[in-house]
């Protein structure tokens, strides 16, 4: 049975201009130049004054030959010839902001990566070593298959049988498991040491067996890795001393020898694609106790709408007769002018939002910016700043997650100034960063032979007036990437 229902729904949709502003707001300063250059290339109605020599007269027809007779003619169509609409109309829908930014805001801009330096990758390095070994065609292709099957850590996680099947089906190479095993042993002699291992234990043993076989420390290290790796990783040193009949001094030498090894040999030659240069978005200067906030000049480019495009639009718009081609020209030029204005407005709005947000953070954390002492950081959440500046929490989050401020005490990510509140026994609210600082100092000064357990750290904090549960201490310790007490133990 069919039914008709009348429903009202309240939906919030972002305009193309709002989406564009959101995208620009989360772009860090280091990437803003690139983003502006892309816009300048895509939209000829947008100009950068810093790239324009204002002292020179504007050239009316830069793409025309000055010796051409038509160039100097006063024919009424000469202005129309200046702009060939056929060259641009096919890109009309691509450069329109309404089509470039969808409602989800998930465009290619978020997926762009920083350019990386050209150098030999881990796999290229292995292939180069394989090329130097005199092999027949079959063994060479087996070696290539093994290298291509290694993961980013340099391990071979796939069974030999799977490699044999791959060779048969994909390369028509009929190989026995033993032949693949022999080639794997060859690749395990390549650099970096430990490459081609099938487990952590094998990786460590490959590295140890390439050391001096007559060294007694190396011999005992091999014995530990072969038979007592679990006890070693869990730092059950008492069991190791009893099982191997060693004193603490001998065991310390063995442990140090193993710790020198690389558990992930594949990482040695890899370029860190996520690492990028940090350029501060703000600068805070201390002028005799008065903080002065400035915005990085790169965030304030000198952009304007092209005068020639404005004049072109006025000329077309005032034309007494309009054919289909002229109407398309008017629509195209208007679209480019609107896009340029939207982009300039979004850049200005970005500057205002950045300064407004950072100024509120600076005023809230004034004592910290004066002293640089983390104990002066006040508890602050996104809502505190959002309420102060009258903006949405998501806007503050976009600024805090991707922007840096340079102070006389160092350069900080804005996100690092936000923290939860912890109440002391006296009723005073302090930042959890203060608690983390105390935890870090306690763990840094502990006796590594008897490291402090979470229960003991909880007692120390309570003695100092911080009534915090043990699970909270464990959470803070994990957030600082500090292992449990047993794994911090040293001989």
437-456 pLDDT, tens digit per residue, is: 888 888 888 888 888 888 88
**Which band of pLDDT confidence, cut at 50, 70 and 90, is reported for residue 184?**
very high
The phi and psi torsions of 372 (rounded to 5 degrees) equal 80, 5
Residues 285, 49: Cα–Cα separation, whole Å: 29
Whether the bond into 192 is cis, omega within 30 of 0: yes
**pLDDT digits over 309-350, tens only?**
777 777 766 665 666 777 777 777 788 888 888 888 888 888
Q: How far apart, in Å, are the Cα atoms of 194 and each of 134, 150, 153?
A: 22, 12, 10
Q: How many percent of the chain have pLDDT more than 90?
A: 13
Q: Give the best-scoring range by mean pLDDT among 3-7, 149-153, 235-239, 331-335.
A: 149-153
* pLDDT greater at residue 126 or residue 43: 126
Residue pointed to by tokens 């600068």? 283
**pTM confidence score:** 0.53
Mean pLDDT score of the chain, rounded to an integer? 77
Q: Show the CA angle centred on residue 260, arms to residues 259 and 262, nearest 5°.
A: 95
pLDDT for the residue numbered 97: 42
pLDDT at 70 over 80: no
Which residues, including other chains, have CB under 8 Å from residue 185's CB and lie 6 or more apart? none
Long-range contacts of 143-151 (CB under 8 A, 24+ apart): 143/183, 143/186, 143/187, 145/171, 145/173, 145/180, 146/180, 146/183, 146/184, 146/187, 146/196, 147/123, 147/187, 148/123, 150/123, 150/126, 150/195, 150/196, 150/266, 151/266
């Amino acid at each position: 049975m069919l039914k008709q229902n009348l429903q009202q729904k309240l939906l919030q949709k972002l305009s193309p201009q709002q989406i564009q502003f959101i995208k620009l707001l989360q772009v860090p300063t280091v990437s803003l130049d690139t983003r502006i250059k892309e816009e300048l290339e895509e939209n000829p109605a947008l100009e950068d004054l810093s790239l324009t020599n204002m002292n020179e007269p504007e050239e009316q027809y830069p793409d025309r030959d000055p010796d051409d007779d038509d160039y100097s003619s006063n024919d009424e169509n000469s202005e129309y010839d200046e702009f060939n609409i056929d060259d641009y109309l096919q890109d009309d829908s691509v450069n329109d902001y309404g089509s470039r930014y969808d409602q989800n805001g998930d465009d290619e801009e978020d997926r762009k990566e920083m350019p990386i330096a050209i150098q030999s990758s881990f796999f290229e390095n292995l292939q180069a070593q394989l090329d130097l070994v005199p092999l027949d065609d079959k063994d060479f292709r087996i070696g290539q298959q093994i290298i291509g099957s290694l993961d980013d850590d340099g391990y071979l996680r796939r069974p030999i049988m799977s490699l044999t099947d791959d060779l048969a089906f994909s390369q028509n190479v009929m190989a026995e498991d033993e032949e693949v095993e022999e080639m794997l042993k060859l690749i395990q002699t390549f650099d970096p040491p430990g490459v081609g291992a099938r487990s952590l234990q094998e990786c460590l043993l490959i590295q140890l067996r390439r050391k001096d076989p007559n060294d007694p420390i190396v011999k005992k290290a091999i014995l530990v890795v072969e038979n007592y790796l679990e006890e070693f990783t869990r730092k059950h040193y008492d069991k190791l001393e009893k099982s191997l009949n060693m004193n603490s001094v001998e065991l310390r030498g063995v442990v140090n020898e193993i710790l020198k090894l690389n558990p992930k040999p594949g990482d040695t030659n890899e370029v860190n694609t996520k690492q990028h240069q940090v350029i501060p978005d703000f600068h805070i200067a201390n002028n005799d106790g008065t903080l002065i906030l400035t915005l990085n000049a790169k965030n304030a480019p000198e952009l304007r709408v092209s005068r020639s495009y404005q004049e072109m639009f006025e000329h077309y718009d005032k034309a007494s007769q309009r054919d289909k081609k002229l109407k398309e020209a008017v629509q195209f030029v208007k679209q480019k002018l609107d896009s340029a204005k939207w982009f300039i407005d979004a850049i200005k709005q970005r500057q205002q939002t950045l300064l407004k947000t950072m100024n509120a953070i600076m005023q809230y954390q004034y004592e910290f910016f004066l002293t640089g002492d983390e104990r002066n950081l006040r508890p602050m959440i996104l809502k505190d700043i959002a309420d102060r500046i009258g903006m949405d929490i998501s806007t503050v989050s976009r600024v805090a997650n991707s922007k840096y401020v340079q102070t006389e005490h160092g350069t900080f990510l804005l996100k690092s100034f936000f923290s939860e509140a912890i109440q002391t026994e006296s009723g005073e609210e302090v930042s959890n960063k203060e608690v983390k600082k105390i935890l870090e100092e306690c763990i840094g000064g502990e006796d590594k032979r008897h490291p402090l357990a979470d229960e003991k750290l909880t007692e120390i904090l309570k003695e100092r007036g911080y009534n915090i549960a043990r699970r909270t201490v464990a959470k803070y310790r994990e957030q600082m990437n500090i292992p449990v007490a047993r794994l911090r133990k040293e001989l």
